[in-house]
Amino acid sequence: MTTNPPRSRTPKRITPAQSSDFPGAGDSSGASGLAARINLGKLFKAESANYFLLLGTTLFLVLFGLIMVLSSSSVDSYLDNAGFFGGLLRQGMFAIIGVPLMLIVSRMPLKFWQRIAWPALAFSSFLQCLVVFTPLGYTIAGNTNWLTIAGVQFQPSEMIKVSLVIWLGMILEQKKDKLDDWRHVYIPVFGVGGGSVMLVMIGGDLGTVIIMAAILFGALFFAGVKIRMLAIPLGVGVVGAVIVALASSNRLTRLMSFFGEGCENLSGPISTECWQPLHGTWALANGGIFGVGLGNSKAKWSWLPAADNDYIFAIIGEELGLIGAIVVLAMFILMAIAFVRIMRSTTTMQARVSTAAVMVWIIGQALVNIGVVLEILPVLGVPLPLISAGGTALLTTLVAIGIVLSFTRGSEHNKEVA
């Protein structure tokens, strides 16, 4: 009987010619391609369900917003010699920048937000000072809230919102054991944070001031500050808002028109202050349950001012009907649920407070915008987040959501950078 000789355990040598048979072997481009695939997989690795819930609703609203901006701005864009797609191209450019920026921001560690909190608030407040105290500020409809530098126009007040989100989380994390002492609440939050809000109030943008004040109070509430401690500053804020509203003839007229003053007689010429809310209501009524069809709005034919911005919800109701309006509301409710779930899963005060501040900002502003269109609230001039036209607002909102997404990466990551 013959036996086969034992096989050698010495590995075979592969010649350079044979190495071409193996993908990526002996080829630097193959190795780099494999590394690229690994890095890409790391970037989009499986995150928590809360991460994808918030990311999914955000991307849906951004895409939906681009479609509605195209529809609502096409006529005005054509009249401005920008073509029917001018509004879409402008908003789409900011979306192309904003979505990747949001994903990049979502990779930032907790320590990063602690480090940039003060510089971010100081820089954005400095830009707002340029708006209200220098000729660089630009006024629209009685509000000095835009800054023009080298032909580029943007709103520093939107940057202050993001800065407040970061700064409030950081400062309340430091004060978490002293929130029963009014000095550790009033002095930093209403002294420093309230000071940045005052800069916006000087410019006269009452709608933005209300949203920023809601961010301050919302952060304090979800940090666990007792309601009785918030009563006094809340009362002072309400009185201040009334004084600011009465101090401007433009705001006072809009406020009076909300209560029906001068808008009763529709048989004659309609005043400027009544024109926008009335045509917004008529657009919603024209839509009915199923709408007149995407792109078939009559109000956008120069009948409804700010159709692609403050009153885009009226165009949604007209073209997509009650069903379309309910879908928008449902998406913001779903986003609110995502925020609450993230708040409940976070392990640090900073993450919880910053998430709460972003939730109050986005969901609160959405409710205010929709309330204005439905004539539940007076005209305040705030856009519908992620949907209305407006580059600065879209970018800053996406960055704020990116900050919240960074908190969903789990407590293990936060422990590493703490």
Q: Tell me the pLDDT tens digit for each residue of 274-291.
A: 888 889 999 999 999 999
Cβ atoms of residues 222 and 352 within 8 Å: yes
Summarised one tens digit per residue, pLDDT across range 237-275 is 888 888 877 777 667 777 777 776 656 666 556 666 788
Q: Who has greater pLDDT, 5 or 403?
A: 403
pLDDT at 274: 81
| Interval 161-174 mean pLDDT | 95
CA distance 316 to 313: 5
Residue 237 confidence (pLDDT): 86
Q: Is the alpha carbon torsion for 164, 194, 128, 397 positive or negative? A: positive
DSSP class per residue in 168-190: HHHHHHHTTT-TTSTHHHIIIII
Which tokens hold the place of 302? 């120069």
**pLDDT tens per residue, range 77-86:** 989 888 889 9
Report the C-alpha gap between 98 and 92 in whole angstroms: 10
pLDDT tens per residue across span 168-215: 999 999 998 888 888 888 899 999 999 999 999 888 888 899 999 999
Query: So what's the pLDDT on residue 144?
Result: 82
Radius of gyration of the chain (CA): 26
Query: Is residue 213 a contact partner of residue 150, using CB atoms and an 8 Å limit?
Result: no
Mean pLDDT is lowest, of 42-51, 133-142, 155-164, 170-179, for 42-51
Taking CA atoms, 41 is separated from 38, 106, 299, in Å, by: 5, 15, 47
Mean per-residue pLDDT over the chain, rounded: 85
pLDDT value at 137 more than 90: no
From CA 411, how far away is CA 33, in angstroms rounded? 32
What pLDDT does 42 receive? 56
Look at residue 360 in the predicted model and tell me its pLDDT. Answer: 97
pTM: 0.85
Please tell me which residue, 382 or 27, carries the higher pLDDT value.
Answer: 382
Residue whose token pair is 């301050």:
216
DSSP character at residue 7: P
Query: By the 8 A CB rule, do 173 and 179 touch?
Result: no
Higher pLDDT: 364 or 43? It is 364
Q: With 0-12 CB in 10 A as exposed, 13-18 as middle and 19+ as buried, what is 238?
A: exposed
Closest by CA to 55, choosing from 316, 348, 408, is 408
User: Region 300-315: what's the mean pLDDT?
Assistant: 94
CA distance 14 to 2: 32
